[in-house]
Each structure stands twice: as structure tokens, then as C-alpha cells.
Structure 1
Amino acid sequence: MLRIAICDDQTDQIQKIQAAAETYFLTRNERVEYRTFSDAFAVKATDYLLKPFTQTQFNKSLERALGFIRQRNSAKMIFRLVGGGVRVEEIAQILFLESHGHVMEVFLADGSTLETRKSAQDMKADLDKIAPGQFVSPNKGYLVNLGAVHMIKTDYVEIQGHQIPLGKRKYRDFQEQYFQFMFAG
């Protein structure tokens, strides 16, 4: 699913922008969820359109944003598996990681898991090299893919039905990191 943030301080403009997006996706096989915001600078929008805009200008802007998303999602990570062997996974397929000492359990979008022998600190460093800012720790022993987050509550983060604990004083910081990642340009 593609999540699109529409930012404008005028309700009628938000409706026009959403209509333009719906027109764009009319012939594409893509599920889209829209969210609206009144302060685009706070969420670090990917692109800006000057009003009034045409559908062609809107389409070009959306293509730039989608190109950015595709590039970010195409990165890959190589895991050395516990018990031998290696496995390559796209960053976008990694939902979250849970630490068990020096073994990380990696939860993937297809419902499977894998285990790799690495500390959480080393894993975070490796992920930051490949996908800066995409994986953050909501609580000790966890790293979550911000691109996979479905819901942020005051005490947990939900990713595909998994509730990952959110540290007591981490809610605002985590929420800010989420918005910076999702809407950074």
C-alpha cells in the first residue's frame, strides 16, 4: 500500500489535490491511502506544487516522489544465517528485528523469519549504511522499519499485527522520527 500525505492549509485545496491523485492512480494497480496535514514544512514534504496546478504538473511531481520511494525500497541486505548459509533480502521486506543476545530474529513481510548472529548495535550500524534513518529502536532489543509501521500508540508500535513495545518516554521522539522518514525529501 502506498501512503500519500496531502499538505495544505485550505480544505478545498486538499480535496483538489486528492482528486488529482485519484485521477493519477485510476489506471494503475496500486492501493493508496491518503492523510492530510495543514503544515507541510513540519512533515518535510517530498515536493511542492504552486497553485493553480495542472494534472500534468501534478503527475510529474508524483512521479518524482514515487521514484524516490522506489529507490529507497530497492536496497538489499545480506544476512549470514545461524546454522550456515546466507540470505539476501530487500530492505522493504524487513518489518522489524528482535534481539536475543547476539542473535537477531528478522521478521519479514511474507510472514517468515530468519536468524542472524549479530548484536543489535552492529545490525543498526549496518542498516544505517544501507538505509539511513529507516530503522529505529522503539525499545531495547528491537529495531523497526519505519516504512512498515502501521500504527503508533503511546505504548507500542504495530507492524502487520505485531505489537512492538514502545519505551515509556520514546513516543514523541519515535513519532517525530517516523514523520521525518516518511515525508523526507
Structure 2
Amino acid sequence: MKAIALDDERPALDVIEAFCSRIDFVDLVKTFTRTGEARIYLESNPVDLIFLDINMPKESGLAFFKSITQQTLVIFTTAYSEYALESYDVEAADYLLKPYTFERFNKAMQRAQARWRTLQQINSQNLSESEPTQLFFRADYGLVKVTVADIFFIEGLDNYLKIHVREGQPVVLRLTLKAILDKLPATKFIRVHRSFIVAIDKIQSIRGRMILIGEEEIPIGSSYEKDFFSLFMK
């Protein structure tokens, strides 16, 4: 597991580095004392796990984790027990109360590894199929299953997106449109706008540069128009 650590106190990072060096299934690739630096790093470097202090000076660890678009596991570290309940609201793998022993740290890592392996197995299963029929995403308190055939369109909203499905409320995820497009069958979905991906077989009509799906009108962006009509006419 590739990991980073974020804490405003250097001694706390030294402890995490020392403990990680004793566990063979984790690679601590970077440490940070500021949330801004960590956010920039995560924009271009995927990781599996973040060790994250909650009580940071400018931005809390909880607020930071909610703001990033990358889907990654998190183990919160803090000296304040009152944050424990809120950490579970964002599906933390574990919550370490400072000062913690190596034994307690190792237990947290075992939990994170078990969850990571489950996600790896699900992703491998999806990749092994030429066109996956179901996708799994981290959301709320666990994994959410989305049936590919039920997706009408996907809407990007800042650091979140909404998957509009056949029945029920849209599925809201902390994920980018680019990341989810990589998971979808390329012959069935296409990005038509900087804020929209559509299911080709759900398109009812096209009027000018507007796509009609159900009762929704979705614009076709000028930079996506050529690729869209090329695929749609096939």
C-alpha cells in the first residue's frame, strides 16, 4: 500500500515513519506538515492510504479529507478523542489516539489492509470483464453498487459527481468525471461536456447542441462535439 502522512508536528510524522518502516506491506512515500502541499501532491500522485492528523492549524484533517477528489483510505491521528464519531462519518479505516503504541498502530494497519484488499479484488473483477455490468464505489458508510445499465448520465459538480440512474435518487460520489469515465465501457458512455457524461443508449433525441435524456436536457460542449457525433452515428 502506498501511503502519505499529514501532521503539523514533525515528531508525530517521525513516529509514523518509524512504525511504517516495521510493516512490510506499506510504503510511506511522502510526509507533509501543511494541507496545501498535500493537496497539490494528491492531484497528480495516487495513493492508497493517508495518515491524517485532525487538529491542523488552518484546515482540519476532516475538512481536508472531505475536499480531496481522490478516493483513498484514511487513518486519522489526533490527541483529541471527541473527533472519533465524526471520523467514522467519513468512513475512516481507523482512529488513532495519540500517543499510540506500535501494537495499536499495527492493528490499524491490518484493518486498512483488509479494506484495501477488498477494494483491489472488486477492481480486479471489474477489469477482468470486457464490459463490467456493475461498479463499486466508496460512499457514505461503505461500498455502493451501481448497475451500469441503469446509468442515464453523470453530472460533475465541483469535487463531487452525481450518477443519475433509472430509479431512485442520484448516487453522489467524491470522484472526478475523468476517473469514473475510465471505469465505464468506452462503447456505451461518452463525455459530451466538461460537466457531463451520457449513456449513449439512453439518448432519446438531439436538438441542435442539446441531448434529451428523459426529462433532462444536456448540452454538448464545442470541444466534445466532433467525438460525440462520430461515436453516436455509429
Say how many residue pairs are matched: 106
CA distance in 1, matches of 2:171, 2:165: 8
Runs of 4+ in 1 over 3 A off after TM superposition: 71-74, 168-173
1:124 matched to 2:178? The reply is no
Residue of structure 1 in register with 2:196 after alignment:
142
Tell me by how many angstroms 1:174 deviates. 1.6
Residue of structure 1 in register with 2:108 after alignment:
none
1:75 matched to 2:130? The reply is no
CA distance in 2, matches of 1:150, 1:95: 11
1:156 matched to 2:210? The reply is yes
C-alpha contact (below 8 Å) 2:210/2:217 kept by paired residues: yes
CA distance in 1, matches of 2:134, 2:223: 32
SS of the equivalent of 1:138 reads strand
Structure 1 pair 80/139, CA: closer, same or farther in 2 (3 Å)? same
C-alpha contact (below 8 Å) 1:154/1:171 kept by paired residues: no
C-alpha contact (below 8 Å) 1:95/1:159 kept by paired residues: yes
**1:143-169 Cα shifts (integer Å, max 9, x gaps):** 111111111222211111110111136
List aligned pairs for 1:19-34, cutoff 5 A: none
Tell me by how many angstroms 1:102 deviates. 2.4
Residue of structure 2 in register with 1:176 after alignment:
230
Q: RMSD of the TM alignment (CA)? A: 2.3
Q: TM-score, normalised by structure 1?
A: 0.51
Residue of structure 2 in register with 1:29 after alignment:
none
SS of the equivalent of 1:126 reads coil
**1:109-153 Cα shifts (integer Å, max 9, x gaps):** 1152110111111111111xxx12211111111111111111122
Structure of greater relative contact order (alpha carbons < 8 Å, 6+ residues apart): 1
Structure 1 pair 169/124, CA: closer, same or farther in 2 (3 Å)? closer
C-alpha contact (below 8 Å) 1:135/1:146 kept by paired residues: yes
Structure 1 pair 140/169, CA: closer, same or farther in 2 (3 Å)? closer
1:109 matched to 2:166? The reply is yes
C-alpha contact (below 8 Å) 1:74/1:92 kept by paired residues: no
Tell me which amino acid in the other structure corresponds to 2:149.
Answer: A
SS of the equivalent of 2:192 reads coil
Among residues 71, 93, 114, which one is paired with 2:150 in the alignment? 93
CA distance in 2, matches of 1:107, 1:72: 23
Structure 1: which 5+ runs fail to align? Answer: 1-70, 181-185
Q: TM-score, normalised by structure 2?
A: 0.41
C-alpha contact (below 8 Å) 1:92/1:147 kept by paired residues: no
CA distance in 1, matches of 2:150, 2:183: 16
SS of the equivalent of 2:229 reads helix
C-alpha contact (below 8 Å) 2:191/2:224 kept by paired residues: no
Residue of structure 1 in register with 2:4 after alignment:
none
Tell me which amino acid in the other structure corresponds to 1:97.
Answer: I
**Percent same amino acid among aligned pairs?**
18
Largest Rg, 1 or 2 = 2
Structure 1 pair 88/147, CA: closer, same or farther in 2 (3 Å)? same
CA distance in 1, matches of 2:178, 2:132: 23
